[in-house]
Structure 1
Amino acid sequence: MQNVLNALRALEEVAARQPIGVADLARAMELPKSSVQRALVTLHTAGWIRQAAGTPTRWMVTAKALHVGRSATGELNLRDIAVPVMEELRRQTDETVHLAVPEGGRIVLIERLETSQPVRIILPLGQNLPAHASANGKAILAASTTETVENYMAEGLSRFTGTSITDPGCLRAELAEIRARGYATNSGEWRDDVSAVAAAVIGEAGTPVASISINVPTSRMTDASRAAFGAAVREAAQRVGKLLGSTSGG
């Protein structure tokens, strides 16, 4: 029984910290390396984790683990449609591409396709993103109803960095700009080292069901790349929205 519990704990920790090596995992779980190694071998054999590309001593969850979670939350169809478009976007930009969904007033990251570049942005799947301080969140807010936006702002706008938007009037103005250009930007508003562009995926009912983003280290984001990435992510989100509508329509 203890071996099973160790394996399940290891799976949770890998999902939260991926990619992660045995030593770091052992410290996080406060277990001997030998126990953690056995748990990883079990998970790998069962197909729940895989070795990270280019770093065989570090581990990541596989699509098998993601499939179970998404089946429980109804996100599988969205992911199946979005991932091929996201793959094309990653090939086009060679930057990390994220898929996030609104869930109970939160913005939750559900998929990540990584860049091949050595300096990259790694956020754990399941990460909650602040709606007013992330590109994914602002894209979804901009496509939401006025009531949704006002209810969100009524709870207060937390400051995360020196560039976070904490004034409701400033946020309303930015959301209007996002609607006009079709994509949102984030220049270190949640984390200083993270910049991004994102566009909302509009579902059949005309409401935002997800957002797609390109995430870049702030040091690598320029005005020119921001505009190019914005146009690309806007087109990708529109494609996913159309595909969702055609699928729903039978």
Structure 2
Amino acid sequence: MPSAAPRNSSSSLRRALALIGVVAAHHGQGGCTLSQLAADAGISKSTVLRLMAPLLEYGYVEVEPVSGRHRLGAALARLGSTYLDGLDLRATAADLLRGLAEETAETVHLLVPEGVSMVYVDKVEAPRPVRMASRVGARQPMYSTASGLAYLAAAGEDVFEAVVAAGMTPRTPQTPTTAAALRAAVQLARRRGFGVDDVANEAHIRGVAAVVVDATGGPVAAISVVGPDYSLTTDRVDVLGRRAMATARAVSARLGAPVRPAPDREDRTP
């Protein structure tokens, strides 16, 4: 009999947390009524009112005075802000980068934008004797790299225009050097969901990359998988691109990013 109270408390807590989830699901629709809460949670209105009392008291849920609809409260925003303020991008992504490198057997990078360049902030080497020349702190152009294309596909037009205005010096015969060529590469990255450097930045080096977004949905970084063209062959591009996307989504989720729909995957040409 003494153990009944803890079990009941645990059950109540779980149901109260489930109610927060129900309110969150209706948040973009102006909130939800008491009837909707009860129906979606599968519990009675009287139970909803009982469980909702402490959530209202602590500001996790608010009731709109006129409509009586329940919405997420400011206390949750403060908790979320505190959580996000404590995040370090490199530390947040570290284990996921290692996992991606192990899965792909290629070198994995975490890069952030700076001006019209992408800067390496972390690197996990492929398990092979030959090392990639990339190093943390170095810069690479956006227009010729997979990470840059992935970032441009999610960034605003002003970033694209800044890249074009800065000039696009050819780095290999495959480098896009005109606004039209870069636009086509960015649009392809947007359709695929990941950018591809098909030996466009460095001879004999191919890469794929996907964008990382933060809690606002804005692009903040990119994760790339890069290797020599004899290893990262064109027939691996789509598979590795999908894996980069999955890892980027996992990092984004840790940053509080909203759930994004999967992109159209029809165009799989390298």
TM-score by structure 1 length?
0.66
Deviation at residue 196 of structure 1 after TM alignment? 0.5
Q: CA RMSD in A?
A: 1.8
Structure-1 residue corresponding to 2:153: 142
Offset of 1:178 from its aligned partner? 0.6
Name 1:171's counterpart in structure 2.
Answer: 182
Point out the more displaced range, 199-208 or 126-135: 199-208
Match of residue 212 from structure 1: 223
Alpha-carbon separation, structure 1, partners of 2:254 and 2:194? 19
Instruction: Provide the residue aligned with 2:245 in structure 1.
Output: 234
Partner-residue secondary structure (3-state), 2:238: helix
2:211 alignment partner AA: A
Q: Structure 2 CA distance, aligned partners of 1:105 and 1:169?
A: 17
Question: What pairs up with 1:71-220 in 2 under 5 angstroms?
Answer: 77-220=88-231
Question: For residue 242 of structure 2, what is the amino acid of its counterpart?
Answer: A
**Aligned counterparts of 2:112 and 2:141: Cα–Cα separation in 1:** 12
How far did residue 75 of structure 1 move?
11
Aligned residue among 233, 237, 244 for 1:222: 233
Residues 120 and 216 of structure 1 are in contact (CA less than 8 Å); yes or no, is this contact kept in structure 2? no
Q: Deviations over 1:142-165 (max 9, x none)?
A: 110012111221222111111100
**CA distance in structure 2 between the aligned counterparts of 1:124 and 1:76, rounded to whole angstroms:** 23
Give me the whole-angstrom Cα distance separating, in 2, the residues matched to 1:160 and 1:213.
19
Greater C-alpha radius of gyration:
2
Higher mean alpha-carbon deviation, 148-157 vs 228-237, is at 148-157
Instruction: Tell me, in whole angstroms, the C-alpha distance in 2 between the residues paired with 1:162 and 1:106.
Output: 20
Name the counterpart of 1:243. Answer: 254
Once the two structures are TM-superposed, the CA of residue 245 in structure 1 deviates from its matched residue by 1.0
Which residue matches 2:46?
none
Structure 1 residue 118: Cα displacement: 2.0
Equivalents in 2 of 1:93, 1:244: separation in Å?
24
* Residue in 2 that maps onto 1:55: none
Give, in whole Å, the separation in 2 of the partners of 1:178 and 1:104.
20
- Quick check: 1:136–1:184 contact (8 Å CA) kept in 2? yes
Q: Distance in 2 between matches of 1:76 and 1:110?
A: 15
SS of 2:209's partner is strand
Q: How many residues align?
A: 173
User: 1:121 touches 1:194 (CA, 8 Å); kept in 2?
Assistant: no
Structure 2 counterpart of 1:144, which letter? A
Q: Which amino acid aligns with 1:171?
A: L
Shift of residue 79 of structure 1?
Answer: 0.6
Letter in 2 for 1:177: L
In the superposition, relative to structure 1, how do residues 230 and 75 fare at CA in structure 2: closer, same or farther (>3 Å)? farther
Instruction: Measure the CA separation in 2 of the matches of 1:105 and 1:185.
Output: 17
Conservation of the 8 A alpha-carbon contact between 1:185 and 1:196: yes
Q: C-alpha separation between the residues in 2 aligned to 1:104 and 1:149?
A: 11
Of 149-158 and 131-140, more deviation after overlay is shown by 149-158
- CA–CA distance in structure 2, aligned partners of residues 218 and 143 of structure 1: 26
Contact 2:208 2:244 (C-alpha < 8 Å) held by counterparts? yes
Q: Equivalent residue of 2:230, what SS?
A: helix
